[in-house]
Every structure is written in C-alpha cells, then in structure tokens.
Chain A
Amino acid sequence: MAANVKKLFGEVFAVNDVSVTIKSGEVFGLIGTNGAGKSTLLRMMVGVLKPDGGKILVDDRPVYENPAVKADIFYISDDPYFLPHATPKKVAAFYSDYYGAFDMDRFEDMLRSFQLNPERKISTFSKGMKKQLSVLLGICANTRYLFCDETFDGLDPVMRQAVKSIFAGELAEREFTPVIASHNLRELEDICDCVGILHQGGVLMQKDLEEMKLNIHNIQCVFQSADEEKSALELLDIVRAEKRGSLNVLTVRGAEREIMSRINHFSPVFAEILPLTLEEIFISETEVVGYDIKKLIF
C-alpha cells in the first residue's frame, strides 16, 4: 500500500501524493507515459528509493531498509543489471545468496524451456533474452511480490505470451502478486486484474478491470419523443453521449440491468447494450478528467 507518497528530484515532483493499494494475489498494472513516475513509484515500492513523504507498506510493514520485507520482493528493473562476464547460472547463484527460496532446479528447467544457454555470457544476449532471463530469475526467486518495470517491452509476442503463461501458472499455484509497470495499456489488458494510471506524478485512477467492465456500458437507443429522451438521459450516469440523428450512443456507468430498466421505463423505440473494449473504457474514464489515454494505447 502506498499512501500519499511523494518523491522530489531536485525541484521536480516525480511522484506527488500518490496512493495505491495493491491486493495480494492480483496482477496490478501501473500504466503511464514516459515521465509519469511509474519507475520512481516502483523503485519506492521495492525499497530502492526513500519516499520524501507518505508511506509505503508491504503487508503492513515499511519496505525501505527492511530486508525482511524485501525478502518477499523481487524487482526487475527497466534495465536489469547483470554481473560483469556473468552467465545465467552465475547470476542465479548471485540471487540465491540473497533469496533463500531461490529454486535453482526450476531455473535451469526454465532456461531450457526458453532455450537460454546457462553457460553463455549474458553480455552476448539480446535485449529480449535479458528480459526473459530477468523474468525467470524473478519467478525462481519465489518471492510473493514481483515488480516488473517495462518488462514486456522488447519481448516478442510469443515470449510475451509465454511469460504471461508463467505468471498465470504462478498465480494459480502460489501466493503471487506481480506488479507490472508499462507505458502500453494493451500489453497489460489481458493479464492485469487491476490497473492504476499515473499521470504527471499523480494517480489518475485505479480500477479493478472486471469491476470496470461491469460498471460501464455502451448503449445505443432511440426514444419516441424528445421529452422522453430528455427524462431518460437525466436518470443515467452518462460518461459520454453522442447523437447521430435520433440515435443516442451513450457510455453509461452502472449495472447493466439497472441501466436497461431505466431506459425501458420510457418504452424506447430501440435500445441495446454493445460490448466495450478495455481501451474504450479507459478512453471514457480518462476523458472525463481531460487526459488523452490514447497515448498509452497507440
């Protein structure tokens, strides 16, 4: 949990008054454009940086300078560091010194699955291979929390899918909470349970994706008269409204049944609910606060 966290670099707030709560066992996506403060927030969450204000608790314990808490955290940075001239095997040995539950056998198995040579120097690896290796190290460290900073960038679609599968497997088998920072919403939409959007150092919103999908709907409807239309729309929590002739295209918050009940009360000529993509949900949600979410999608 991060509460009112602040981090100042010089005279600039990298993170300003951010509060985020991550539930155990969920996949949390931290989304934001470059410079939004994702990495800074993540580095504070893993105890690398000390917040200038607010507090960060992991299992109700402060994380900064707390090795006991950090023993449950593995951090994969945007640009992971590997020992000079190290091989995957040596790096695993390095991490196993710090993480008592590091599973060396599994690591070797996974290296084989990902076709990474355990004896090859990491300096000869491609960027994608290094990212794969980082993820494998993070998984095999067997920590409860895995913080990934832009980890999916640089992975090809096959590998991305493979990593997501591993995450899914871990989530199913043990207590595991990955926190993934990315500047691309699409990378996370099929894996995250909850998403927080950071903008200019502050959290724009934090939502559970399922809840979000259930709570916002796209409606197309035509009413019999203008008066009925006006009365019906007044009863709805409209996020966005568009009119094409007599057709109303609405994005409305609320439960599907309740929305339809209110519309049907006015006996519309036509009314139906259309599926809403995650992108459309975010566009709708963030447009309200004047944020151009498209930057994170395209």
Chain B
Amino acid sequence: MISRNLFFRLVRQDIKKRIWCPILIFIVLFLALEVCLLMETEEYLRYSYVYAKDIVTYVKEYFFGRHSRMVSVVTCFTAFLCGISGYAYLHSKIQVDTYHSLPVSRSQLFWSKYISGVLQFFVPFVIHALSCAGIAAGKGAFTTATIPAVISYIALQLVVFVLAYSVTVLAMELTGNMIVAVLGTGVLFLYSTLLAVLSHVLSDIYFDTYIAYGKRMSYPINENIWRFSPASMLIRLFLSPNNTTMEAAKKLYKYDTSYVWVLMLAAAVYTMAAYIAHQRRASEAAGKSIAFHMAEPVIKTMVVIPAAFFCAVFFRSIASYTKEERWFVFGLIFGFVIACVLMEVIFRLDLRGALMHKKQFLFNAACTALIFAVIRYDMTGYDTYVPSDAQLQSCAISIQQLMPLSQDVRVSSFGNHFLDSEDYRMSNMKLQGNPSAMELARKAAAEQLQFRYFDYYEGIEESSEYMETLSRQEHYQNLVFGYRLQNGRMIYRKYVVDLKDAETLRLLADIFNDYDYKVGSTPVFNDSWQIEFGSLYCISNFREENIVLTHDMQARLLETYHKEYMKLTLETVMHELPLGSIDFRIKLDANQSRYKYFSYSGAMYIYPEFTKTIALLREYGFDMEEKLTAEDVESVRVELNDVVPPTYFSSLSGIERAESVYETDSEESKVQEYTDKEQIQQILDSVVKTDFMWGIKGFTDCFDHQYRLGIILKAEDGLPYYFFIKGEIPDFIRHS
C-alpha cells in the first residue's frame, strides 16, 4: 500500500530528480527580489527628494505591493519551468512506461509532482521575501505595519504561481510532445487576451463607431470576452482602473484585491482540469502531439481562425491606406492556409499531414469567411446602433477638443496617475432630459461621417478627389457617446460630426450649454469640490503666478467661477478668446522638495464675460486683464513656420494638421527679431498665448498658425510661445 510517507518520499524524489529547477528559481528570485530591493532602496536614498512617501511606505506600498506585477512575470516564468520539468515524463514513452508500471496510483503521481512543483517555487520565494524584509529592516524601512504587506505579497505570488503552473501542467497533460506543449501553454496562457486584442483591432478597423473605453490599454481584458486565460486575469488584476474621480486618481493603486478570488478559483479549476486530464490520459499518448484526439478539431478551429485574422491585420498594417483592404484579404487567406497547414503538421508531426482533414479545412474556411463578412459589412448593425429612449437611462458625451480636462495627478515618482477627461465624462456625466443629445447621436449614426485618409505623394494636391475630401472634412470633429442603459450596461460609440452643419452645431451647443454636461465634465464642480487645493496657478496672456489659497478663498472662487462657467455658451467658446486660465493645485508637502506630491486640475478658462471671477482674482492679487507694454520687452522673435504641405498630414483633421505644422523643426523656420518699441507694441496687442489653444482647438478658429512668436522680456528670460490672433497680423510682419 502507498502510505503518506511514500507520498512525501515521492515529493522529495521529484525535487531531487530536477534539483536544477529550484536552484534556477532561487537564483532568478534572488535577482528579482533582493537585488531589485537593494537597487531601488539605494536609488531611493540617493534621490529621496523625488519620492513623495517615506521609505517605510515606499517599501510597504510599492515593493511589497505594486511591485507584485513585475514579480508576477517572474513567477509565471518559474511556474512554466516547474510545470514543464515536472510533467515532461508524460512526453517520453520510456519514462511513462517506468512511472506507470510502478506501484503508485496516477493520482498520487500527479499530486506528488504537483506539490513538488509548488514547493520548488514557494520555499525559495518565502526565503527571498523574508530576506527582503530583513534587508528593509536593516535600512530602517520595515515596521510591524509592513508584515501584513509581506504576507499578502507572498500569498498573491503563490496564487499567481498556482494559476500559471496549473495552466502549464494542463498543457502538458493535453499534449504528448514538448514543443507542442510549450505552444499549448502559450495558447492557454494568452488565448483570451489575444482574442480581446484581435476583437479590439478588428472592431477598430471595421466599426467606424468603435471606441475602446478609456484608451488605457484595457482592451486586452475586454469585458465581452471571457477572461479565462491567466494573462487576461493578471492584466485585469494589476491594470489600474480608469480613474473617474480625483480622489481615486490620487491613490497609489496596488492591485484589485477583490479579484484575487477569481484567480484562486481559476487556479483551482485549472488544477482540477489538469488532474482529470492526467487521470484520463492514455499512456500511449507520449510522443504524440495531442493526448486527446477528440479535442483536435476544436483546437484547430480555435487557433486557425484568430491566427488568420492576426495575419490579415499584420498585412493591412504594413500596407498603404488605399490598398489596405485588399492586403487584409490577402493576409486573411494566406494566414488561414499557413495556419491550417501548420496545425496539421504540428498534429501529425509530419509534413505530409498538411493535406489531411480537408473537411475541417473547408469548415474553418467557411467560418473565417463568415466572420469576415459579418464584420466587414457590419451585419450586426454595430455602427448604426443607437438605443431607444425607452432603453436609455442616461448618457455621457465627450466632445473631443473642447475644454478637455486633463488632470495629471502626480502622487510621486512611483505613482503617476492620470485622470483622463474621457474616462471622467463617461463615468460621471449623466445627461437626462436633453433631447438634443440623442438627436445628435441618431443624426451622427445615420450620417456615418468618417475621416478618409490618403497616402501622401508629391503632387497629391492636384488630385481633386483628395482636395475635396480634405476640404469636406476640414471641420469634422469626434464625439464619444456613452449610453447607460436601463439594465445598467454601458455602451460606447464614437461618431464624427461636421461642425459646418448648422443643425449639428445647434445640437452640440444644446449639449455644451447643459448644466449636467458641464458638471459631468468638470471634476472641480463635482467630486473635487471638497478637496483642499491650497494653491491656484493663474495664467493670463502675459503672466503666470501661483496664488496661495485659503479654504475661504477657494470656496468663494469655486462658487463664483461655477456660476459664470455654467453660463458659458458654445458660441462664446467658438468666437472669443479666453483671457487666461486657472488651475487648482494640491498643496505641496512642506517636508518634501521638488517633484513631490503635486497635482493640477487642468486649465479652466476665464473669458471676458467672467467679470466676477476676474474681479475676485484681482482681489487675490492676479489681474487677468493685465497687458504687457513694449517697455517691458526687449525683443520679439517671430518664426515663420515652414509651410509643410498640409496634405503631408493627410491622415489628420484640419486642426491637427495645423498643430503638426506648428511642431515642425525650427531650424527650417525663418526667424525675424523685432526690437522696435512701436512694432513690439503692435505685436503685443495682437498675440495670444499658445497655451490657450489646447482646450478649445477644433472649435475656436482664432489662432493664426503661420507665425510663432517668442517674447524676450527685459527682466526675465522670456515667455512661452504665442500665435497671432487670426486676422490681426501686423502689416510689417506680413510684408517682411
């Protein structure tokens, strides 16, 4: 009889048999943990002024917290190593003959090797983690509060290991050949992630209204695709959520602790699947590609179709705009055939097997063609979908290039968090009772306007089709809609609208003027109201200054600005230039020096009609209307931007092309310096700071991008760059 003692003897025997494995793991973990900690703490101590947190918090929150995501990669590698080495005997006929003839049940053989593999990781990991705790203690960076963090750190890595390990073991059980097992592990590990990426790429190509919410690399964990692969789960675990509040953005995100249970459950399921496969696996499967032949057609279909589409996407990506469609089709056919042949060769381990299974070849071809047809011709009506009023609970709208909030909340050098304007709007805006919103959505969905891109070549301007297209889409603008349905589901769509269309503009104005739109797009009026900012960064056309705010000053300013901002109309935005902007900032930590713990709320524009805000700011010591006189200025440098053919930027909309022109290499620009006081004064009276363009670009046609100006002051080094206000370029410049 097999006793418990035997079980542990088998575990010991297995460890002895592949002693190289724990040794290698020990070395790898030493580099990933101790060496990493030593290097990071040295860096911390050398440049401590760039870190917002003290070293104890740094070690606790970052090294034993956020750092887990990096260590998880190492953990997955060790899991792969343990799984492959532990169950390699299944792929060797002589080893299978030996092990399966021994007086031990397959069950015990499986579990002894399984436990052995886990121990080969776990024991070295615990030793290294404790060693790291010791190092941290030696550097005074460890307190009793760090102990739970260390325990969580070890526990999380154990879960990650078991998950990746069980997937590797399952791949080993399902196959009979090492190369196929390695490929199989890769497929199991990445499949749902790759599927999500493929879904994203295909949707992006073929659905004009498709938009990946948040733009923050969240598409590999597409909610519509079952995240059964460890890679998807790990990305989901560690991926910072889309910050939708200032408070959330300020926090150092470690990982989603509530999601660890999903990993544990998945690890258990994969382990049981591997165990069942082990019990049912025939010994004669050793040396064959696959241990369960009935799975072969399913695996082929699951691999061949996505592989064909990936190939299609690859060929399309390297093709020119005008021929990308045909290269996509070529890639699809080429990839499909190659994938089919490769799969057959892999399964047969023989090149002659490539021509077998013609029926399945035809079946897979039909499936691939069907999927292509569905997405290519939008048979599901994806692009034209707009929920009915009855289905809709509320909606969120993000009008691109219009007062985009971009709150970069920098917590410290080990936690730089960003509050994306679109994320914020999609999450916080709940427009209801504004018929213009859905009317615009239906109009946009019906019109299906899209930017058309061309390949640039010398002389393309002679193409009437090209020029007409450029002209037509000169005022195209992107909108993102987030439909919040009655069932709680959010559906996102991206539309292109034409700002030359009066009706569109009317609807847009109705939306912009809506109180809920403004509140839902401006955190300072929403969840940030109660934040103690401490300082206000004011920017006018010729001055920038930081004002220290008291609680009372902040409250008064917010209230005043709120009232006036709510009255701001789209028409004003389109036809007037702002006087300046204000930017609420979190008070700097007195004990910390530069780079530490600051945030900015994003420029909030001050228009001339914001009289009360302007007055209040003046009371606080900042005059938005202050002018610069020629006496203060030493010289003005005017750069004539090289006129790069606008068509070069044919893939961009009008304003984006203008920006690109603005960003051209200054060496190629023609620079003229003006020192004459009269000329300087004329220039000063007709310039606007380039900073003011960013929040309203695409809507305000008040900037002339032909010249870029640098103003050199007598007292200071200089001021940021400027543009001329459209139509106000002095004659002496125009004729120079």
CB contact between A49 and one of B102, B106, B282 (< 8 Å): that residue: B282
Please give the distance in Å from B356's CB to the nearest CB on chain A.
Answer: 13
A69: B residues at CB distance < 8 A: 103
* Nearest A residue to B98, CB-CB: A81
CB contact between B97 and one of A9, A48, A83 (< 8 Å): that residue: A48
A202: B residues at CB distance < 8 A: none
* Nearest A residue to B279, CB-CB: A65
CB contact between B105 and one of A43, A65, A73, A79 (< 8 Å): that residue: A65
A81: B residues at CB distance < 8 A: 92, 94-95, 97-98
Q: Which of A93-101, A108-116, A218-226 contacts B (4 or more CB under 8 A)?
A: A93-101
Please determine whether A68 and B103 come into contact, CB atoms closer than 8 angstroms. Answer: yes
Answer yes or no: A169 CB below 8 A from chain B CBs. no
Answer yes or no: B298 CB below 8 A from chain A CBs. no
Please give the distance in Å from B350's CB to the nearest CB on chain A.
Answer: 13
Please determine whether A43 and B283 come into contact, CB atoms closer than 8 angstroms. Answer: yes
Please determine whether B97 and A43 come into contact, CB atoms closer than 8 angstroms. Answer: yes
Please give the distance in Å from B417's CB to the nearest CB on chain A.
Answer: 51
> A75 to B1, alpha carbons, bound, how many Å?
18
Total contacting residues, chain B, CB less than 8 A: 24
> A80 to B98, alpha carbons, bound, how many Å?
7
Please determine whether B1 and A49 come into contact, CB atoms closer than 8 angstroms. Answer: no
Please give the distance in Å from A98's CB to the nearest CB on chain B.
Answer: 5
> A71 to B9, alpha carbons, bound, how many Å?
16
* Nearest B residue to A7, CB-CB: B284
Answer yes or no: A70 CB below 8 A from chain B CBs. yes
- CB neighbors of A among B1-20 (8 A): 1-2, 6, 9-10, 13, 17
- CB neighbors of B among A18-71 (8 A): 43, 46-50, 65, 67-71
Please determine whether A97 and B2 come into contact, CB atoms closer than 8 angstroms. Answer: no
Interface size of A as a range:
20 to 34
Q: Is the interface of B mostly helix, strand, loop or mixed?
A: helix
Answer yes or no: A84 CB below 8 A from chain B CBs. yes
Answer yes or no: A77 CB below 8 A from chain B CBs. yes
Please determine whether A75 and B101 come into contact, CB atoms closer than 8 angstroms. Answer: yes
Contact with A along B317-345 (1 / 0, CB 8 A): 00000000000000000000000000000
Please give the distance in Å from A84's CB to the nearest CB on chain B.
Answer: 7
- CB neighbors of A among B90-113 (8 A): 92, 94-98, 100-106, 108
> A95 to B651, alpha carbons, bound, how many Å?
72
Please determine whether A67 and B97 come into contact, CB atoms closer than 8 angstroms. Answer: no
A70: B residues at CB distance < 8 A: 101-104
Please give the distance in Å from B178's CB to the nearest CB on chain A.
Answer: 15
Please determine whether A98 and B103 come into contact, CB atoms closer than 8 angstroms. Answer: yes
CB contact between A98 and one of B92, B96, B104 (< 8 Å): that residue: B104
Please determine whether B282 and A80 come into contact, CB atoms closer than 8 angstroms. Answer: no
> A83 to B98, alpha carbons, bound, how many Å?
10
B6: A residues at CB distance < 8 A: 97-98
Please determine whether B106 and A65 come into contact, CB atoms closer than 8 angstroms. Answer: yes
B100: A residues at CB distance < 8 A: 47-48
Please determine whether A80 and B101 come into contact, CB atoms closer than 8 angstroms. Answer: no
Interface residues of B (CB under 8 A from A): 1-2, 6, 9-10, 13, 17, 92, 94-98, 100-106, 108, 282-284
Q: Offer 13 A-B interface pairs, CB within 8 angstroms, sorted by A.
A: A43-B101, A49-B283, A49-B284, A67-B2, A67-B105, A69-B103, A70-B101, A73-B101, A75-B101, A77-B98, A81-B92, A81-B97, A98-B102
Q: List 16 additional A-B contacts (Cβ < 8 Å) besides A48-B101, A67-B108.
A: A9-B284, A48-B97, A48-B283, A65-B105, A68-B1, A71-B1, A74-B101, A77-B94, A77-B101, A80-B94, A80-B98, A81-B92, A81-B95, A81-B98, A83-B17, A97-B13
Q: 5 nearest interchain CB pairs?
A: A70-B103, A75-B101, A71-B103, A81-B98, A81-B94
